[in-house]
Amino acid sequence: MSPSHRVVIAVFPDVDLLDVAGPAEVFALANRETAGRAGYRVRLAGPADGEVRTSAGVRVLADLSFDEVGGQVDTLLVPGAVDMTDEGPVARVDEDVVAWVKATAPHARRVASVCVGAHLLAAAGLLDGLTATTHWSTAAQLAADHPEVTVDPDPIFVRTDRGRVWTGAGISACLDLALALVAEDQGEDVALAVARQLVMYLKRQGGQSQFSVPLSRPATSRRDIDDLRLWIADHLDGDLSAEVLAARMCLSERHFARVFKQETGMSPAAYVEAARAEVARRLLETTDDSLDRVAAASGLGSVETLHRVLKRQIATTPAAYRRRFRTRTT
């Protein structure tokens, strides 16, 4: 038996359930796959011991209050919670949780955030000067609230500060993060055995951007730009050069490019490429069309361009994406 490894997972009202249960299951499976040699001891810590209602409405029981954690912590896991607003999800930053994380982190061998838990680590000052990730939908909030943190919204997880600080991406990525922690502790073979039990990849292909929706942007302040975006979506297999789009808007190319980027945050070329990549992804997920047909239908023209665009947009190949996400009916 190896020495026990104490894992403390923070829980608090409206915490994301999977971000708590997912890593706990990974560590439990690591214990099982090693006949207990991994030695993980998972404890849930909350503002008070006892019942905590999660975002799913399911209640979990905190083993300890924050004040009772004390002592050495091998792995401190901090999940998060969000509030839904008209503008979308906003990561919740509870000052009491932040204060506890700030006080506890110095006694932990390593600290990891799950999903929007990165906002709590950042508020506690643990990400200053580091690169971090979080759920793609709150990455802009994290960057705006903490300019001292380099926010990368694409990775599934980021390991930094010589392996002491980890940040994980959105929701199900808690499993990827926990598997990586097991791999660091117990080796790749144990992590692979756990991944097999979970029926998932040990290392998923591509980044978080493959799950976000690049075109899910709010309406702009200009109706003509919104109308153009709809027109682009209906004509992806046509000529969507800046010259054609500018002419449709009755603007010079230079002025059109400036207005379009100001309103959408993207250049016209980048927007068109993202739109075409989104259609290609949908066809790869829902049809058995050849790559030639996918490339043609999405406006990318050739299989070579399809490969190049998907590598740039979501860091994977068309074939790998289809194997992973093809939806089949029975």
Q: What's the pLDDT at 213? A: 54
Alpha-carbon span 134 to 130, nearest angstrom? 13
Alpha-carbon span 312 to 292, nearest angstrom? 19
Q: Are 236 and 215 in contact (CB under 8 A)?
A: no
DSSP 101-140: HHHHGGGEEEEEE-GGGHHHHHHTTTTTTSEE---GGGHH
For residue 7, what are its two tokens? 């894992």
Helices (H) and strands (E) in the chain, counts: 13, 13
Q: What is the dihedral of CA 29, 30, 32, 36, to 10 degrees?
A: -150
Please give the radius of gyration of the chain, using alpha carbons only, rounded to the nearest integer. 22
CATH number among 3.40.50.880, 3.40.50.300, 2.40.50.140, 3.30.420.10, domain 5-210: 3.40.50.880
Output b/e per residue, 278-311; b: 16+ Cβ within 10 A.
bbbbebbeeeeeebeebbbbbbbeebebbbebbe
Residue 98: Cβ within 10 Å count: 19
Sign for the pseudo-dihedral over CA of 210, 216, 221, 225: positive
Alpha-carbon span 94 to 309, nearest angstrom? 40
pLDDT, one tens digit for every residue, the chain (330 residues): 347 999 999 999 999 999 999 999 999 999 999 999 999 999 999 999 999 999 999 999 999 999 999 888 999 999 999 999 988 899 999 999 999 999 999 999 999 999 999 999 999 999 999 999 999 999 999 999 999 999 998 888 999 988 899 999 988 899 999 999 999 999 989 998 999 999 887 666 666 766 665 544 555 678 888 889 889 988 999 999 999 999 999 999 999 999 999 988 889 999 999 999 989 988 988 889 999 999 999 999 999 999 999 999 888 899 988 887 775 544
For residue 10, what are its two tokens? 């923070």
Q: Are 77 and 114 in contact (CB under 8 A)?
A: yes
Q: How far is CA 179 from the centre of its chain?
A: 15
Residues 6+ apart with CB under 8 A from 273: 309, 312, 313
Residue 66 DSSP code: G
N- to C-terminal Cα distance for the chain? 46
Return the closest-CA partner of residue 134 out of 143, 125, 126.
143
* 71 backbone φψ class: left, alpha, beta (φ>0; ψ -120 to 50): left
| Collapsed DSSP state (helix, strand, coil) of residue 165 | strand
Alpha-carbon span 14 to 296, nearest angstrom? 45
- Can you give the residue ranges of every domain in the chain? 5-210, 223-325
Output b/e per residue, 110-124; b: 16+ Cβ within 10 A.
bbbbbbbbbbbbbbb
**Architecture of the structural domain at 223-325:** Orthogonal Bundle (1.10)
The overall pTM is greater than 0.75: no
